């Protein structure tokens, strides 16, 4: 074989192989660099994907070091379920947070029941049932109520300052409506009940009338009767308020006391009940000690309910977060107020039921009726009806807006 001018030219062949080798080597180096860069990108993608999978708790296998495994059908289904659940939760939250009568927890119901039952115990054992009892020798005393008994002892000490004060007022604050008419059943024991001028609530209206015209207005047997007692001096007419208040104070601590506020209105009610009238029933109650002092005693059970429930609500009060939209804050306050009203209604209902039991087991004596408690349950019922029938349009819109904002915040965290 000839080297220069033979059949095979080796120099030319090696040069061609060498060039191909060089080109391949350059290509391999480029591919290797690109592969390294892609490998880093892939690892970053895997890391981000795994973090997303863990955060969202979606049914996707975590990415392994060697392969990429994603169940796209499961992923799509999971995302759809999550959004559906979020919509459902938002709807439930909206309805729960914006009810005319907000929901209460089991603890709330227990607390209301316990407070109402405790008020019943106060009504039975402390307020009690007053009854006038005749003692040997003709003296009469009112017993049956521990709290009323405390009030009745005030001013009994003839040497005490209270006794001297009310007897002083009794001497100077004479009024024209202190009428006694034995023939027409207007006696010292009941004349204050039959006289509107002795009423602690509305009496001033009648007192002014009687002072100006020199009369004594009485309500007897369902009929308003006006007695002419003589003209009053100009000074008395000008100082009617002073004489009215002074006379009331002087009568509060006497054995018969003052009738309860509005008590004179019962004397108009000549309704027949078991061979008697409502006016006669209430007159008997007053004589037995159902007076202003006992009325104050009865309010103690109602006051206890309000105090105990307010303490519980203040202790468990949820702070209303400030919101840029005042309507949301206002709606939350209305909801909070509606829940409190519901709890007041339940508490008062339990206490009123307890008083009904007291009345039934106590021989159905009307003196056992806790009038302030029944007034309270009527008032709470009216407020409850008002809360349950209020227009919820703007209130629901505000609560819905808050719910939507909360859902957006949850989505932004994903």
pLDDT tens-place string over residues 361-398: 988 999 999 999 999 999 999 999 998 888 877 766 66
Tell me: the pLDDT tens digits for 210-226?
999 999 999 998 899 99
Q: How much is the pLDDT for 22? A: 64
Quote the pTM value.
Answer: 0.72
| Three-state secondary structure readout of 268-321 | HCCCEECCEEHHHHHHHHHHCCCCHHHHHHHHHHHHHHHHHHHHHHHHCCCCCC
Q: Provide long-range contacts, Cβ within 8 A and 24+ apart, for 293-296.
A: 293/148, 293/151, 293/152, 293/252, 293/257, 294/127, 294/130, 294/145, 294/148, 294/260, 295/260, 295/261, 295/371, 295/372, 296/151
Tell me: the pLDDT tens digits for 160-203?
899 899 899 999 999 999 999 999 999 999 999 999 999 999 99
The answer to whether the beta carbons of residues 102 and 318 sit under 8 Å apart is no
Q: pLDDT band for 288, please (50, 70, 90 cuts).
A: very high
Lowest mean pLDDT: which of 32-36, 71-75, 168-172, 310-314? 71-75
């Amino acid at each position: 074989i000839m080297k220069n001018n033979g059949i095979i030219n080796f120099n030319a062949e090696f040069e061609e192989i060498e060039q191909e080798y060089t080109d391949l080597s350059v290509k391999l180096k480029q591919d290797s660099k690109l592969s390294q860069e892609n490998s880093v990108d892939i690892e970053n993608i895997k890391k981000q994907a795994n973090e997303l999978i863990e955060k969202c708790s979606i049914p996707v296998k975590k990415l392994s070091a060697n392969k990429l495994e994603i169940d796209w059908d499961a992923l799509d289904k999971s995302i759809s379920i999550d959004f559906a659940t979020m919509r459902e939760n938002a709807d439930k939250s909206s309805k729960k947070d914006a009810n005319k009568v907000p929901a209460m927890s089991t603890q709330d119901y227990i607390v209301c029941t316990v407070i109402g039952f405790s008020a019943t115990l106060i009504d039975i054992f402390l307020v009690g049932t007053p009854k006038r009892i005749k003692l040997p020798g003709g003296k009469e005393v009112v017993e049956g109520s521990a709290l009323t008994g405390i009030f009745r002892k005030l001013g009994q000490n003839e040497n005490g300052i209270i006794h001297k004060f009310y007897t002083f007022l009794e001497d100077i604050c004479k009024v024209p409506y202190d009428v006694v008419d034995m023939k027409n059943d207007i006696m010292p024991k009941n004349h204050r009940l039959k006289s509107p001028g002795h009423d602690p609530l509305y009496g001033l209206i009648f007192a002014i009338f009687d002072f100006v015209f020199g009369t004594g207005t009485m309500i007897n047997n369902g009929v308003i009767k006006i007695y002419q007692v003589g003209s009053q001096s100009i000074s008395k007419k000008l100082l009617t308020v002073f004489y009215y208040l002074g006379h009331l104070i002087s009568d509060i601590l006497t054995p018969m006391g003052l009738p309860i506020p509005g008590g004179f209105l019962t004397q108009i009610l000549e309704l027949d009940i078991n061979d008697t009238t409502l006016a006669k029933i209430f007159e008997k109650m007053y004589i037995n000690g159902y007076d202003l002092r006992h009325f104050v005693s009865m309010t103690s059970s109602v006051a206890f309910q309000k105090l105990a429930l307010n303490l519980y609500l203040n202790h468990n009060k949820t702070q209303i977060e400030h919101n840029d939209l005042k309507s949301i804050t206002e709606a939350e306050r209305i909801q909070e107020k509606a829940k409190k009203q519901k709890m007041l209604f339940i508490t008062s209902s339990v206490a009123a039921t307890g008083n009904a039991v007291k009345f039934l087991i106590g021989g159905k004596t009307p003196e056992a009726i806790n009038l302030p408690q029944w007034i309270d349950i009527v008032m709470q019922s009216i407020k409850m009806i008002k809360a349950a029938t209020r227009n919820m349009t703007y209130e629901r819109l505000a609560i819905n807006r808050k719910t939507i904002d909360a859902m957006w915040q949850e989505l932004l965290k994903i």
